């Protein structure tokens, strides 16, 4: 089974969806750690109750780099091969993104590339959109800009508020994220990606004298 660490900042309903899907027969992944930047995150208590190892470290009073290094150390000592961000409301340092490039997924409440960043439901309502939705994507240094791996649309009703819409988007997220994660960890080894990384590293090396 592929080992996955889930990072949360809030209620952790997406983490719960990933966890419960991982316990169904034929799941190709297991969750080995739930970590948070908020020691009071609801997702942490749920993970604890479900017997999943947890790690909490507030980012307050620390630099982004220091905090990410500590999170990264916890993730690596859990043996995780992948990170799934699930409502993790911190922008990651370049170092963290580079270290996990190609192995870190995020779920975002909009149909990317529309509405990157925050307040996605409000913006979709204000724009009078017919649909909003959710996207699972690879994490790169561009905020909400990495390759989209899967999306699910959600119709907007006249009666919707940002809260009612966010609730339905989460229902769609809970279906989408476990499926995309399962497909992702089951994909054949991507030698093209590795080749690109080796080329980029070789380019960055100083010329031999
Ligand atoms: C989810 O809707 C997720 O898409 C969103 O936060 C919510 C977390 O809910 N993520 C972002 O906005 C990331 N920029 P949860 O804690 O119940 O899973």
89 is in an annotated binding site: yes
Predicted local confidence at residue 209, as pLDDT: 63
pLDDT attached to residue 201 = 86
What's the pTM value of the predicted model, to 2 decimals? 0.92
Alpha carbons 172 and 66: distance in angstroms, whole number: 34
For residue 57, the surrounding DSSP H or E stretch is none
Give the residue whose CA is nearest to atom 12 of ligand 1.
Answer: 108
Residue of 38, 87, 124, 136 to test ligand 1 pocket, by largest number of atoms within 8 Å of CB: 87
pLDDT at 207 over 90: no
Q: Measuring from atom 16 of ligand 1, which residue has the nearest CA?
A: 12
- Known catalytic residue at 108: yes
Query: With 80 as the cut, is the pLDDT of residue 44 above it?
Result: yes
Give residue 84 CA to ligand 1 midpoint distance, Å. 12
Q: How far is CA 154 from CA 119, 125, 132, 150, in A?
A: 16, 12, 5, 14
Cα 10 to ligand 1 centre (Å): 8
Nearest CA to 162 among 120, 127, 200, 202? 120
Q: Using one digit for the tens of pLDDT, what is the confidence trace for 67-121?
A: 999 999 999 999 999 999 999 999 999 999 999 999 999 999 999 999 999 999 9
**pLDDT band at residue 197 under the 50/70/90 scheme:** confident
ipTM value > 0.95: yes
Around ligand 1, the residues with Cβ closer than 6 Å are: 8, 10-14, 43, 86-87, 107-109, 169-170, 173
Q: What is the mean pLDDT of the chain?
A: 96
């Amino acid at each position: 089974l592929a080992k996955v660490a889930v990072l949360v900042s809030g209620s952790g309903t997406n983490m719960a969806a990933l966890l419960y899907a991982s316990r169904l027969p034929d799941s190709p992944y297991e969750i080995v750690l739930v970590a948070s930047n908020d020691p009071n995150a609801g997702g942490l208590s749920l993970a604890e109750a479900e017997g999943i190892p947890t790690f909490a470290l507030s980012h307050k009073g620390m630099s982004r780099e220091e905090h990410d290094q500590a999170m990264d150390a916890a993730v690596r000592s859990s043996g995780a091969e992948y990170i799934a961000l699930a409502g993790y409301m911190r922008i990651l340092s370049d170092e963290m993104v580079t270290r996990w490039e190609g192995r870190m997924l995020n779920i975002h409440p909009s149909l990317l590339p529309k509405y990157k960043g925050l307040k996605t439901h409000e913006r979709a309502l204000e724009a009078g959109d017919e649909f909003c939705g959710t996207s699972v994507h690879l994490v790169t240094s561009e905020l909400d800009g990495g390759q989209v791996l899967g999306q699910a649309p959600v119709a907007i009703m006249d009666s919707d508020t940002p809260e009612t819409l966010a609730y339905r988007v989460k229902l769609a997220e809970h279906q989408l994220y476990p499926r995309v994660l399962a497909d992702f960890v089951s994909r054949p080894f991507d030698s093209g990606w590795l080749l690109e990384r080796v080329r980029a590293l070789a380019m960055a090396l100083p010329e031999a004298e």
